[in-house]
Amino acid sequence: MILDCRDMKDYRAGHIKEALHVHEGLKDSLINRGDKQRSLLIYCYYGHASEHLAEFFSDFGFKAVYSLQGGYSSWKESHQEV
């Protein structure tokens, strides 16, 4: 599962395919009813906020949580068409 923790405006402007926008309702749902064995990849703008959110999910028992190094800006730069 791919989670985008940027603000909604930036999420709507562009995001990684199949990424879900993180909001309080989604966080609560994942914590209370989510499959804690499922891998989570979380990203933000540059990789800092996603590190904190990844730690948050790890603290709630998720086993495979990752923060995208460099965030969306790094991913977008590496996926631009030449």
Q: Domain count for the chain, please give it.
A: 1
DSSP assignment of the chain equals -EEE-S-HHHHHH---TTPEEP-HHHHHHHHHHS-TTS-EEEE-SSSSHHHHHHHHHHHTT-SSEEE-TTHHHHHHHHT---
Residue tagged active-site, from 44, 54, 65, 68: 44
Q: What pLDDT is attached to residue 4?
A: 98
pLDDT in tens, the chain (82 residues): 999 999 999 999 999 999 999 999 999 999 999 899 999 999 999 999 999 999 999 999 999 999 999 999 999 988 875 4
Provide the domain limits for residue 46.
2-78
- Determine the pLDDT at residue 82: 46
Q: Which domain CATH number covers 56?
A: 3.40.250.10
Output the pTM of the full model.
Answer: 0.91
Task: Give catalytic status of residue 44 as yes or no.
Answer: yes
Cα 29 from Cα 69, distance rounded (Å): 25
